[in-house]
Structure formats: C-alpha cells, structure tokens
C-alpha cells in the first residue's frame, strides 16, 4: 500500500500540509500498518523556533494535524473491512487539535509520528498521536477528526 494521502481524490490533494498537488506544501506522508499510522518527517533549518536548535511548535502541530486526519480515514476503511481505494470514499476534517509540548523537539533528527484511533464514533474519531525525536516522545496530540458529510 502506498501512503494514505496518495489515495485522496484530486480535489482534496491541495492541502498545504499533505496534498500531493501542492508544490509548496509539507507533503506529509502517512502509512497504515498494524492498526496505526506512522509518518516520518525531517524539518528543514528554516522550520525552527528559537535559537535554531528547536523545531517550530506550529510545524509540529501541522504534522500532527495531517497525520491524525489520515489515520482517522485509514482506520475507518479498516473498520469497514474496505480497501482504501474503494468507493464511496471516506473523508475526515479536523474538528479540534490539542497539542501538548512535553519537551523541546531538537532540530536536526528525523521525526517519527505514530497515531491511532482512541475512540471511534459514527460521526467523529478521536485520534491520539505521539511525535518523537531520537526515540523520545516530545509532543502529544489529540485530534478530533470529523467525518465529512459530503463523502459519507
């Protein structure tokens, strides 16, 4: 299976965070495996907070946002026993995004994100995401992903 966002239809592929057709975007790529989704991302030197040694917290929120919504989508297909390429397609949008910065995230190493659906309701899914650098979790996210009505 390719990355989750690669299955988004062209009209939803413009997202600055994860759209494959946004040339200036972050191109977040999430992969579904064993009931959760994983993502790797290496920030560039410009994506810094203070002092050029810590990653900008807003970027980390962006990564968690796009990765968590992709997780909700992939999990919904899995829960229905459907292939992610099958129709009708399933889409989610971000209802709320709660990010806790537990420690500074060092700028330099590749970052790893894991996310899973903590609670699935018919119209929304609570997705928990852990972001780590060098094996240490530095940021935790809780995203309420809302199922998009137009694609239900």
CA-wise closest residue to 146 among 98, 99, 87, 90 = 90
- Number of other CB atoms surrounding residue 14 within 10 Å: 13
Task: Report the C-alpha gap between 62 and 37 in whole angstroms.
Answer: 16
Give the shortest CB-42-to-a second copy separation in angstroms: 15
List the one residue from 100, 122, 135, 149 that touches a second copy (CB under 8 A). 100
Give the shortest CB-144-to-a second copy separation in angstroms: 9
List Cα–Cα distances, 95 to 70, 90, 148, in angstroms: 14, 16, 10
- Nearer to a second copy (CB atom), residue 2 or residue 14: 14
Give the shortest CB-46-to-a second copy separation in angstroms: 4
Binding residues for a second copy (CB under 8 A): 11-12, 14-17, 19, 22-25, 46-52, 56-59, 61-62, 65-66, 93-101
């Amino acid at each position: 299976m390719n990355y989750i966002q690669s299955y988004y239809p062209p009209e939803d592929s413009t997202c600055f965070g994860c759209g494959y057709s946004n040339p200036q975007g972050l191109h977040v790529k999430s992969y579904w495996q064993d009931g959760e989704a994983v993502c790797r991302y290496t920030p560039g030197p410009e994506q810094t907070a203070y002092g050029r040694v810590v990653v900008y917290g807003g970027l980390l929120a962006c990564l968690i946002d796009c990765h968590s919504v992709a997780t909700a989508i992939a999990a919904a297909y899995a829960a229905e026993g459907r292939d992610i390429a099958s129709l009708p397609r399933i889409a989610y949008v971000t209802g709320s995004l709660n990010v806790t910065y537990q420690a500074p995230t060092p700028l330099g190493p590749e970052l790893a994100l894991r996310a899973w659906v903590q609670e699935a309701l018919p119209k929304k899914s609570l997705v928990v995401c852990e972001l780590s650098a060098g094996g240490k979790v530095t940021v935790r996210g809780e995203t309420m992903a809302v199922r998009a009505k137009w694609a239900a």
